[in-house]
Structure 1
Amino acid sequence: MSDMFPDAVSRYAAGQGRLGGSLRLRGVRRRALQWLALPAADLFAAQLGILLAFTGLSALADPLAPPLQWEAPLGAALGVALLAAHRLLGLYDTTGHGALERLRLRVIGAVAAPCLAVTILVAFDLAANVTLSSIILASALAGAIGLLLEGLLRPVMIRHGAWGSPALVLGSGAAAAGLAERLMRQPELGLRPIGFAADCVAAEAPMPLPNLGTVAEAARSHGGAVAVIAMTGEMASGEIARLPFHRIIAVPDSGNLPTLRVNFRSLGGDLGLEVSNLSQAVAQRRIKRGLELLITIPVFLVAIPVVLVLALMIKAISPGPAIYVQRRVGLHGRPVDVLKLRTMHIGAENLLAELLARDPAARAEWDTHMKLAHDPRVLPVIGDFLRRSSLDELPQLWNVLRGDLSLIGPRPFPDYHVARFDQDFQQLRMSVKPGLTGLWQVAERSNADLRRQEALDTFYIRNWSLWLDLYIVLRTLPAVLRAQGAR
């Protein structure tokens, strides 16, 4: 078992070992953390949002005047409005909601909260000293603060077993084993697998979880768990409704179908799935282009002096041009001349060829990642700093302004990198414009091998939306600041 899922099992087992005693000794605390942490964070975010909004509006109106005082009625109204909106949207149910979906629901909650707050203030005749602008600004700030607080609370709640619910994986075989491994690898989904149950066990497929017996036996001992089913035909769809569990999540083998933006349709008793391919929608592309220009233009102006200083530092260490042009594969396979600050010695390709010829370990690492952890081509001090901080990519803001790249999208690769992928994935990748940053850069930086790069880029292209781009933008800065895995 551990040979088949070494990383997932070791990490998950270690986490369960740490949890075992705490769940028995501090069950009340765990439940309090599970039920109260997020609502308390939202109440705090509402009050802090009001304080910041009033301070900002007061400074704009009269910088010399004392700041407006915190209003108790508005604080109570906005706090109740946020709690009500988030409860109705299901944000306090942490079971089975991914980070992207939770981001979308929080934005919706921040938009709905001012309406609810105004309704409460008017109903109780408390709106005399409150302006609409203060409510809207306070709600927006509270939404941003609440999102940040949730990001800080999530790992704490996961560590103490207060995020999500225990889950039983129903079924056996490779599909069920893979599903269990994915759930263990992504605890933020809120499905904590405790074991698997199946009436007919596939002997040839070991599971990374303990066997809890038949479905009926597992239901008797763990009836409060969420049943998660890998739908592979082993269990008929009609049997799902008869399962003795309150919550059941069926995970179909989606193949190449998108997993986001899928709506269910009842077609005369048949279940239909409606999928929107937004990556090919002209209107969505235009909106994306307009938004990325709004972001890129001011960032580009700020980046110009930074690039000049870094270029002088490069030239002080290594003779030759500080900015170089590398040809990459762009939209529809057209070549794109990408700008970068030079982080390598002149003649770097010859150095690489010599290293790979004499070092089998380096050859194996290059074949897997198309990068090297200890690359002899990189300039001393400045080269490693630029690559780890991603500041060497700053000149590519000009590529975004020109329209060669998007701000968000699959990273543009050289020909030799693209050639390592199969033809179907190459065609899929070339169907969208490459980007300055992308999903696998913020998720795994340079740690992703070719298989993982393909999986993450495929997910992004098939599930693209403005929400997904916003999610990547919000994760880009923390990923760059950590500089973990960057090469």
Structure 2
Amino acid sequence: MESNEMLQQKMAVIALVAADEALLNAVKEISIDKYTIMHFDNGIDLSTKWNKLKLNIVAIISRSEIIGTSGISMLQALQSKKLPDVPFFILTDNINENLKSIALKAGVADVFFKKTSAQSVALRVHFLISNWTILKKASGANVKTAFKLPLIKRIFDIVFSAFALLILSPFLLLIIIAVKFESKGPVFYYSLRVGTGYRIFKFFKFRSMYVNADQRLKDLKHLNQYVTAKEEAVAEVVSVLCDDCTRMGIKCQMSLYADNHSWCEKQYSISKKAAAGSAFIKIKDDPRITKVGKFLRNTSIDELPQLVNVLIGDMSIVGNRPLPLYEAEKLTTDKYAQRFIAPAGITGLWQVEKRGKGGDMSEEERLMLDNTYAESHSFLNDFRLIFRTIPALFQKENV
């Protein structure tokens, strides 16, 4: 008799990730005689069991937003682990042509709207599983992002970030002590950010706000400098998990802060979208910020942990700022998508153009400067921006 492990290796498995009723309904037409359906909580659960059990996975269907933790971000993570190349499908609540284009360019086999008929999903999944190898060879598809960081820029980033972390290590230790001494909570926080080619990564910062800062945000929405007239009627922030995170049964994966009561960016974005709000949030003289945090922000020292992001290759020293998931999701139109073909960076064009000059920068200006950088960035121009960043660090306004 064959062992269970040998049987698992022979079975053709369709992996369902973060499955809910909509996903289960979508795959109910798939023949259980030909495929075995296996459920996984998230990408980590999938990759771990895939390797450990040596599963014969022939397709993956994930219930997620395209720019989400179980969307193209998970696909990229699986690719980085050198797991077998199989069709990866996304079942989503929100889709448009630009989002679908982003997904397909990232290597997603197909994207289904949640109301797509089960029969249509089954036919498409069957077809791509059966013809995946042929289709990949015929198309010569490249599942990686189109942009590749120039070697000289990458070498500079590694040398600069490693040297800076070494030299600044005593200073960073003092900051850690100061942050811990003034207020309870973690010294660092990370949130998910969208960088080059819509790649999602963990973005590190020093904590600069009090614990429970999220609970005060709803009382300060009228102070948003990017606010529009329509946005004044925006609904209060709901401090609950969004559908994606609830479905995964874990804490919020889209929070801005690492406090014990962090708020969900996606949940906030839903209320903002209902009022056609702007993509960015910025509150001048924000009372949620600690005294140490105010100093860290005014000098941009809170950004120093991002040197780790640079060192490991998530970001570059100079580039367009990586955005929260909910902001990036709003910038998938042809007008703004260009900013994502440039490197994601700690400092960039918009930071030095107006920051610290006493004038407020509109959302439109910021986005246009991001596009400008994407069109004209070069290693020489990056050096110019680095030298222009130094006086902009000690700005006059609180941002």
Specify the TM-score bucket, using the shorter chain as the normaliser: 0.3 to 0.5
Query: TM-score normalized by structure 1?
Result: 0.39
Ranked by relative contact order (alpha carbons within 8 Å, sequence separation 6 or more), the top structure is 2
Larger helix proportion, structure 1 or 2? 1
Query: TM-score normalized by structure 2?
Result: 0.47
Q: Of the two, which has the highest radius of gyration?
A: 1
